[in-house]
C-alpha cells in the first residue's frame, strides 16, 4: 500500500494553514486536525489551551457518520484535561465561546 | 403604328420563350451545368467542412484527411450534424450527475472514471473525491502527488472538506531519513507525551530518503 506512487513533502506549516481554512468554515474534522497540530506542535508551537479550544468546538460538530473521529476527539480532550490547570481549561472554553464560523 | 406596338408587346411578353431559347443554346446548357455542379458540390462536400475549425482558423478552411479521420472516430450516434459533435446524454454531460454516478458506482475504477469526468469540468467535490481515490489507491495507482493536486484544486474553490484533506496530505507525509538498504518500517514518534500514550505514528520506507505516508493519526 505504501510502496507505490510518488510522495509529497511533509509540510506541517502548510497543513496547519489548510486545516485553519477548513476549520474557519466549521468543519469538525478540520477543527480536530487543527487541535492535533497544536498538541503535537506540528507546524505551530505546542499550545494545549488552543488544542482544547479547537477540540471543544469540534466535538459537537461531528456528524453521525463520523462517530469514530468524534470518539478520538473526546479521547484527546480528556487526555488534555488531566494535564491542564482549571484556569487553562476555563480560558480554552472562553476562547471556544468567542469563536464564530465564517 | 398599331402593328409596331403589338410587335413590341409581343417581344416583351416573350421572356419565357427567350429563356427557353437561351437554355436551348450551348451557353445555356453550360450555365445550367455549372449551377448543377455547384449545388452538387455544396451538398456533397458539406460533411467535409468543419464549422468549428473554420471559426478557429479563419473562414473557408477545409478539413485535412487526418482531421476528417479524427472526426469520424469521434462520431457516435446521436450526432449534432451542424456543430459536428456527438450528442451526449444529459446525465453523462452534467458534472453533478457524474459525481452522483461516481458515488453510486460499485466498482472503484468506474467511480474514478465518473469522478474524473466531473472533476475535469471543475466540480470541486468531484476533484476532492478523485484526490481521495488517488490518496488511497482505490481504482487508480496510489499517487500522493496526484492526490495533492486534486485536493488543491478543490480546496482553492473553498471546499472545507478538501482543505482539510489537503492539510491531512501535508501533515501525514513523513520523511524517513534513515538510509535503509531494503524496505523497512520506521517509527516517527509524536513529540508530545499525550499523543505518545494514545498513538504511535508508523511509516513504511521503500527506498532510502523516500517521502512516505504515516498511518492515519488524523481522520
Q: A40-72, pLDDT tens digit by residue?
A: 888 899 899 999 999 999 999 999 998 988 998
Contacts of B156 (CB under 8 A, 6+ apart): none
Q: Return the pLDDT at B52.
A: 57
**Minimal Cβ distance to B219: which of A12, A14, A72:** A72
Q: Quick check: A27 and A18 in contact, CB under 8 A?
A: no
Nearest Cα residue in chain B from A4: B142
Please list every residue in chain B whose beta carbon sits closer than 8 Å to the beta carbon of residue A74: none
Give chain A's mean pLDDT: 88
A26, A33, A83 ranked by CB distance to B168: nearest: A33
> Dihedral sign, CA of A84, A88, A93, A97?
negative
Closest Cα in chain A, distance from residue B117 (Å): 22
pLDDT surpasses 90 at B152: yes
Position B78 scores a pLDDT of 79
Q: Helix, strand, or coil here: A82?
A: coil
Which residues from B are below 8 Å from A75, CB to CB? 198
B95 alpha-carbon distance from chain centroid = 12
Q: What is the DSSP letter of B62?
A: B
Identify the three-state secondary structure at position B25.
Answer: coil
Taking CB atoms and an 8 Å limit, are A69 and B197 in contact across chains? Answer: no
Count the neighbouring beta carbons within 10 Å of the beta carbon of residue B134.
26
In this prediction, does ipTM exceed 0.85?
Answer: yes
> How much is the average pLDDT of B10-36?
79
Rounded CA separation B155/A97 (Å) = 27
The set of cell numbers assigned to A88 is 487553562
Whole-number percent of chain A with pLDDT over 70: 93
d(CA A34, CA A9): 19
Are the Cβ atoms of A12 and B194 closer than 8 angstroms?
no
pLDDT value of residue A32? 92
Q: What is the pLDDT of residue B90?
A: 67
The pLDDT of B80-93, averaged and rounded, is: 75
Q: Which one of A6, A9, A37 has the shortest CB-CB distance to B143?
A: A6
Residue-wise pLDDT for B125-140, tens only, equals: 999 999 999 988 889 9
Q: Which of residues 112-151 of B touch A (CB under 8 A)?
A: 134, 137, 141-148
Grade residue B60 by pLDDT with cuts at 50, 70 and 90. Answer: low
For the segment B71-85, the average pLDDT, to the nearest whole number, is: 76
Q: Is the pLDDT of residue A9 over 80?
A: no
- Express as a percent the part of chain B with pLDDT over 90: 30
Q: Tell me the C-alpha distance between A16 and B54, whole Å.
A: 51
Structure confidence at residue A102 (pLDDT)? 81
Helix (H) or strand (E) holding A40: helix A28-40
Is B207's pLDDT higher than 70? no
| Residue A87: how many other CB atoms lie within 10 Å | 9
Is B169 in the A-facing interface, judged by CB distances under 8 Å? yes
Name the minimum distance, in Å, from the CA of B92 to any CA of chain A. 29
User: For residues B145 and A92, which has the higher predicted lDDT (pLDDT)?
Assistant: A92
pLDDT band of residue A34 (cuts 50, 70, 90) is very high
B9: confidence class by pLDDT, cuts 50, 70, 90: low
Provide the H-helix boundaries in chain B.
2-13, 15-24, 26-45, 51-57, 65-74, 90-93, 95-104, 108-120, 124-136, 144-156, 160-172, 193-198
* pLDDT tens for each residue of B157-182: 999 999 999 998 888 765 444 444 44
**For residue B12, what pLDDT is reported?**
63
Which is nearest to B95 in space by CA: B47, B61, B65, B127? B127
Is B86's Cβ below 8 Å from some Cβ in A? no
- Sign for the CA dihedral angle at B112, B113, B119, B124 comes to negative
Nearest CB to A18: which of B142, B170, B212? B170
In this predicted structure, what is the pLDDT of residue B48?
A: 62
pLDDT at A90: 96
CA atoms within 13 A on the CB side of B23: 9
- How far, in Å, CA of B22 to CA of A2, rounded? 87
Query: Rounded to two decimals, what is the model's pTM?
Result: 0.62
Q: Where are the domains of chain B?
A: 15-84, 92-172, 176-213
Does the pLDDT at position B57 exceed 70?
no
Q: Which residue of chain A has the CA closest to B167?
A: A15
Cβ pair B133, B151 in contact under 8 A: no
Interface-testing mutation among A11, A33, A74, with chain B (most B C-beta atoms within 10 A): A33
The CATH number of domain B92-172 is 3.40.50.970 = no
Amino acid at each position: 500500500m505504501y510502496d507505490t506512487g510518488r510522495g509529497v513533502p511533509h509540510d506541517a506549516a502548510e497543513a496547519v494553514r489548510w486545516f485553519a481554512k477548513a476549520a474557519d468554515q466549521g468543519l469538525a474534522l478540520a477543527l480536530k486536525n487543527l487541535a492535533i497540530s497544536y498538541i503535537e506542535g506540528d507546524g505551530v508551537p505546542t499550545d494545549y489551551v488552543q488544542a482544547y479550544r479547537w477540540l471543544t468546538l469540534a466535538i459537537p460538530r461531528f456528524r453521525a457518520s463520523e462517530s469514530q473521529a468524534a470518539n478520538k476527539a473526546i479521547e484527546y480532550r480528556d487526555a488534555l484535561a488531566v494535564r491542564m490547570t482549571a484556569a487553562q481549561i476555563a480560558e480554552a472554553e472562553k476562547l471556544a465561546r468567542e469563536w464564530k464560523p465564517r | 403604328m398599331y402593328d409596331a406596338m403589338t410587335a413590341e408587346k409581343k417581344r416583351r411578353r416573350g421572356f419565357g420563350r427567350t429563356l427557353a431559347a437561351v437554355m436551348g443554346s450551348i451557353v445555356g446548357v453550360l450555365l445550367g451545368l455549372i449551377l448543377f455542379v455547384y449545388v452538387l458540390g455544396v451538398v456533397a462536400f458539406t460533411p467535409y467542412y468543419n464549422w468549428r475549425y473554420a471559426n478557429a482558423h479563419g473562414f473557408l478552411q477545409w478539413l485535412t484527411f487526418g482531421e476528417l479521420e479524427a472526426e469520424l472516430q469521434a462520431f457516435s450516434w446521436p450526432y449534432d450534424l451542424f456543430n459536428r459533435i456527438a450528442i451526449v446524454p444529459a446525465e453523462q454531460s452534467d458534472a453533478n450527475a457524474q459525481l452522483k454516478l461516481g458515488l453510486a458506482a460499485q466498482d472503484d475504477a468506474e467511480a474514478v472514471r465518473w469522478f474524473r469526468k466531473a472533476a475535469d469540468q471543475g466540480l470541486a467535490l468531484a476533484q476532492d473525491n478523485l484526490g481521495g481515490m488517488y490518496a488511497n489507491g482505490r481504482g487508480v495507482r496510489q499517487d500522493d502527488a496526484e492526490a495533492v493536486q486534486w485536493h488543491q484544486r478543490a480546496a482553492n474553490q473553498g471546499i472545507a472538506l478538501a482543505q482539510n484533506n489537503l492539510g491531512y496530505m501535508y501533515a501525514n507525509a513523513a520523511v524517513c531519513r534513515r538510509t535503509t538498504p531494503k524496505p523497512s518500517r520506521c517509527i516517527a514518534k509524536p513529540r508530545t507525551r499525550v499523543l505518545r500514550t494514545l498513538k504511535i505514528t508508523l511509516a513504511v520506507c521503500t527506498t532510502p530518503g523516500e517521502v512516505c505516508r504515516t498511518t492515519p493519526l488524523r481522520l
